Amino acid sequence: MSGKVKLMERKGKDLYERLYLIEIFKGMAVTLGHFITNLLDNSKLYVRHYPEQQPEITARWRGRHRLTTHEDGTMKCVACFMCQTNCPAKCIMIEAGERIDGKTEKMPVKFDIDLLECIYCGFCVEACPMDAIRMDTGIFSVTGSERKPFVLGLEELLATKGAFTEEEYKKGGA
Amino acid sequence: MSQLDILLLILRVAFAAFVPMCFIAVCVWMERRGAGFIQDRSGPNRANIFGFRAGGLVQNLADAVKLITKEDVIPGHIKHKFYFVLAPVIVFSIALISFAAVPFADVLVISGKHYIMQGIPTDLGILWFLALAGFGVYGIILAGWSSHSKYGVLGGLRAAAQVISYEIPMGLAIISILVVYGTANLTEMAQFQGKLLFGFIPMWGVILQPLGAIIFIIAAFAETNRTPFDLAEGESELVAGFHVEYSAMKFGMFFMGEYVAMFTSSALIITLYFGGFQIPWFATETLVYHSRLVSFLLMVLLPLFALLFAGWISKNNRSHYPRENDPRIREANIYIKILWGLVIALELVLVIFLIFGSGGTAARILAAGLQIITFLVKVTFMCFVYVWVRWTLPRFRYDQLQKLGWQILLPLSLLNIFVTSAIVIALS
């Protein structure tokens, strides 16, 4: 039953390392070096001065949702309920109605996304057969002081434009 | 009691009471900005009053407002509410009181009268500190016990065990330093350290007692519950340890108590091992005797330092991203103007001293002022060492902590006593 045993050499057992203080002083020299350089010149800190300097969002980054439209301005969504069925957070609430612009038979009359419930997993985008819902708005910070504005309606979702060109968005394989 | 006596009494007590309190702000600020810079971050730099950020110090005011206005919760399961409230008070007040016996300047002689520059002019010295230092941890144990939760009790237990194992090496290190100085009075210890070894090395405790200094500093770290010995807090395994049930200003008291304890033990380390208020190579009598030369030197050095400092401010107090009409540059210009105003005021005082203050009293007050500044600068450096160690070392494991205390520090400090006593006897 004896398996292959590989004896690892234990580090830190010789006197030099067991004195401990020398290694501590070495570590403290490292931190002091960082402290002094940053104290004398604080322009090279690894920080982004956030509200003023916005981060770069890539095309595949899952931001706030939007509903896409055809070139003539009619919405692509056909109210198939695929996104609502797929949503693990159950944050999409669709009400289907008859289509009035003559594209197909159905369209949503109500399309609500509760952003407080949403976990930004992107499953709705994956599920959509019509490429009607996308998360390419580049909006990563959704804030508010009450609950109501967090439930996005159809108009708001349609009104937001994508932050990227069509080629850029497709490049990721979407 | 003359009026001068009363004035000096008030001044000394005020110094001993308010300077540690002011140092809470300085230490918290140093901790945050120090941690930031050590980790290549910037630390708090946004909180401001009319655009004045004072390098991040204003953040402390914001924190104070937050802690004071928060809801002060006493959880329903707590049976002994009195002890629950008493615990943070003990931690804070004990830390504050232990500073009272630390001298911040040499004995001030005004018209033949001697004034010991301590909060409480006692010669108990180190005994006062020893008596109170162990008592500070009672607050932590009491907090842990009265919290009635397992995290709190575990934190309190750890604090108790830690103090027992580190108080002994600390006491033994103090014994060997007592053997060297031959006195328990802290003012006399600091005066002893004003002498020179072989005529050119300042006779600081750290040079006479290097091993004792290391043991004492390690034990002082453990005593103040700072990393790497903050097992009582241990947020990774005990959530927050002894103060897990505390909120608002009761937590604030623990928080401030930690920094006051850090200040006090820094002051004590300085007094015992780093010359206390002594300026190296300038003992009190030298300062008084050459007071004109010293003030002239100050007059020359002050603008030089101010120039460097102003350059540093204007280099670093600006926005590091494109910004129109950078308000931080305007802020920096105002700081620099204030700095030069202060320098001019100080220069005027020194000029007046040079012209009129030939007498002994003025020279002695100047020497005392310089010693207070030296003391505070040294304490600030020692507080920085605390911060620096905290952001360098990870926390000890509990068994490692006990092993270090009992198997390494205790024998070393005993050995130190024997060696020191042998040398002292051989030399005398």
pLDDT higher than threshold 60 for residue B370? yes
pLDDT higher than threshold 60 for residue A166? yes
Pinpoint the alpha helices (H) of B55-209. 58-69, 81-98, 126-146, 150-181, 186-192, 205-208
Are A32 and B388 an interchain contact pair (Cβ–Cβ within 8 Å)?
yes
Residues 6+ apart with CB under 8 A from B92: B139, B253, B254, B256, B257, B260
pLDDT of residue B338: 92
For residue B186, CA distances in Å to B21, B119, B398 come to 22, 12, 34
Rounded to two decimals, the pTM is: 0.83
Share of chain B above pLDDT 70, in %: 99
pLDDT higher than threshold 90 for residue B341? yes
Q: How does the average pLDDT of chain A come out, rounded? A: 86
Top mean pLDDT of B187-196, B197-206, B221-230, B384-393 is at B384-393
Are B37 and A38 an interchain contact pair (Cβ–Cβ within 8 Å)?
yes
pLDDT of residue A100: 83
Share of chain A above pLDDT 90, in %: 24
pLDDT of residue B377: 92
Q: Which residues of A touch B38 (CB under 8 A)?
A: 31, 34-35, 38
Residues 6+ apart with CB under 8 A from B422: none
Are A27 and B321 an interchain contact pair (Cβ–Cβ within 8 Å)?
no
pLDDT of residue A172: 63
pLDDT of residue A94: 92
Q: Read off the pLDDT of residues A48-101 as tens digits, 9 standing for 90 and up.
A: 888 888 888 888 888 889 998 888 888 888 888 999 999 999 999 999 988 888
How near does any CA of chain B get to the CA of A45, in Å? 5
Name the residue in chain A with its Cα closest to that of B390.
A28
A153 touches chain B (CB under 8 A): no
Residue in B42, B312, B391 nearest the CB of A31 = B391
Are B41 and A45 an interchain contact pair (Cβ–Cβ within 8 Å)?
yes
Q: Given the DSSP bridges, would you call strands A151-152 and B108-110 parallel, antiparallel or unpaired?
A: unpaired
A52 touches chain B (CB under 8 A): yes
Helix axes B210-223 and B126-146, enclosed angle (nearest 10): 30
Run of H or E including B254: helix B248-273
Q: Report the candidate in B329, B294, B304 with the shortest Cα–Cα distance to residue B314.
A: B329
Q: Which residues of A touch B319 (CB under 8 A)?
A: 49, 52
Q: Read off the pLDDT of residues A106-135 as tens digits, 9 standing for 90 and up.
A: 889 999 999 999 999 989 999 999 888 988
Helix axes B248-273 and B360-390, enclosed angle (nearest 10): 120
C-alpha torsion B146→B151→B156→B160, nearest 10? 150
Average pLDDT over residues A10-16: 77
Q: Which residue out of A23, A38, A48 would a mutagenesis test of the B interface target, given it has the greatest number of B Cβ atoms within 10 Å?
A: A38
Q: Read off the pLDDT of residues B138-149 as tens digits, 9 standing for 90 and up.
A: 888 888 888 888
Residue in B42, B323, B388 nearest the CB of A42 = B42
Q: Read off the pLDDT of residues B2-44 as tens digits, 9 standing for 90 and up.
A: 888 888 888 888 888 888 888 898 999 999 999 999 998 888 8
Around Cβ A43, how many Cβ atoms within 10 Å?
9
| Lowest mean per-residue pLDDT among A164-173, B126-135, B409-418 | A164-173
Q: Which residues of A touch B37 (CB under 8 A)?
A: 34-35, 38-39, 42
pLDDT of residue B358: 63
Report the complex ipTM.
Answer: 0.84
Average pLDDT over residues B300-304: 89
How near does any CA of chain A get to the CA of B393, in Å? 8
Q: Which residues of B touch A47 (CB under 8 A)?
A: 40-42
Domain boundaries, chain A: 12-47, 66-171
pLDDT higher than threshold 70 for residue A173? no
Q: Read off the pLDDT of residues B249-277 as tens digits, 9 standing for 90 and up.
A: 888 888 888 899 899 989 989 988 888 88
Q: Which residues of B touch A39 (CB under 8 A)?
A: 37
Q: How far apart are CA B332 and CA B342, in angstroms?
A: 15
Per-residue pLDDT band for A174 (boundaries 50, 70, 90) equals: low
Are B392 and A42 an interchain contact pair (Cβ–Cβ within 8 Å)?
no
How near does any CA of chain A get to the CA of B44, in Å? 12
Are A49 and B320 an interchain contact pair (Cβ–Cβ within 8 Å)?
yes
Residue in B40, B214, B389 nearest the CB of A34 = B40
How near does any CA of chain A get to the CA of B12, in Å? 34
Q: Are A92 and A98 in contact (CB under 8 A)?
A: no
A28 touches chain B (CB under 8 A): yes
Sign, Cα dihedral of B82, B84, B87, B93: negative
Average pLDDT over residues A23-29: 89
Share of chain B above pLDDT 90, in %: 12
Q: Could you list the beta-strand ranges (E) of chain A.
A: 66-67, 92-98, 106-114, 133-134, 151-152
Q: How does the average pLDDT of chain B come out, rounded? A: 85
Q: Which residue out of B31, B39, B314 would a mutagenesis test of the A interface target, given it has the greatest number of A Cβ atoms within 10 Å?
A: B39
A53 touches chain B (CB under 8 A): yes
pLDDT of residue A89: 92
Run of H or E including B114: strand B113-115
Residue in B321, B323, B388 nearest the CB of A31 = B388
Average pLDDT over residues A19-43: 88
pLDDT of residue B295: 82
Name the residue in chain B with its Cα closest to that of A40.
B312
| Domain at A66-171, CATH class | alpha beta
pLDDT of residue A146: 92
pLDDT of residue B124: 81
Q: Which residue has the higher pLDDT, B217 or B55?
A: B217
Q: Which residues of B touch A42 (CB under 8 A)?
A: 37, 42, 316, 320
Residue in B40, B315, B389 nearest the CB of A45 = B40
A15 touches chain B (CB under 8 A): no
Q: How far apart are CA B346 and CA B298, in angstroms?
A: 10
Q: What SS3 class is residue A97?
A: strand
Q: Which residue has the higher pLDDT, B107 or A149?
A: A149
pLDDT higher than threshold 90 for residue A29? yes
How near does any CA of chain B get to the CA of A150, in Å? 28
For residue B140, CA distances in Å to B24, B89, B124, B249 come to 19, 10, 26, 16
pLDDT higher than threshold 60 for residue B153? yes
pLDDT of residue B281: 80
